[in-house]
Amino acid sequence: MREIGTSLAGALILFFARFITAVRGRWDGVAPADEQRIYFANHASHGDFVLIWTVLPRRMRSTTRPVAGSDYWLKNRLRRFIGCDVFNAVLIDRDPATRTRDPIVQMTEALDAGASLIVFPEGTRNTTEAPLLPFRSGLFHLAQARPNVALVPVWIDNLNRVMPKGEFVPVPLICTVSFGAALSSAEGETKQDFLARAQAALLALSPKASAP
């Protein structure tokens, strides 16, 4: 019965996300192939990974796990059910003072078990006017730890206007999820250079980058 409830909840979330956002997936420079990947995306809403999950082909959803903050997704029973049971999220303690496990170890364990990951290198939601917050070092260390896993940039457009921070009623707007060409870490590349290259690849997918 629990598996049925989980499947039903996933289907309802999928329907709701599509109904509210009419989300469209754009695959620019990469195809929706059955291969292990690390999707790294901009972060403006708690619903970001839901939209990425929504536009993935069904065969890829069951093996793609979001990486998310445990402080949010373990806050109550409903969030725990959605984060753990529906999405099988890799939950990270974002507070170094209370952390008992290395986040990179948690993510590499998920990769070694065959999962693809959805990560947000900014580390927290971007509520500023800047297109991206500075990337934290986790993406670099993950790329170094598993260099054979493709890194795919993903730009989510408009979701911050659908669910602004502090609001509970979504505003129906069309959203787009754009997937860019895969990256890999280069031998000898510094952390600073790698993060700058990854950030540039993500920004290049933004509608503002292609605007005249």
pLDDT in tens, 176-196: 899 999 998 888 899 999 999
pLDDT at 52: 93
Query: Which strands sit side by side in the sheet containing 37-41, from one edge to the other?
Result: 24-27, 176-179, 150-157, 37-41, 116-119, 64-69, 90-92
Q: Supply the DSSP symbol for 83.
A: I
Residue 29's pLDDT band (cuts 50, 70, 90): confident
Q: Please, what CATH class does the domain formed by 2-210 belong to?
A: alpha beta
Q: Cα–Cα distance between 127 and 115 in angstroms, integer?
A: 30
Q: Is the pLDDT of residue 138 over 90?
A: yes
Report pTM: 0.89
Q: Supply the DSSP symbol for 177.
A: E
Quick check: 123 and 149 in contact, CB under 8 A? no
- Arithmetic mean of pLDDT, 78-102: 92
**Percentage above 90 pLDDT, the chain:** 56
The string of pLDDT tens digits covering residues 149-170 is: 999 999 998 655 544 455 444 5
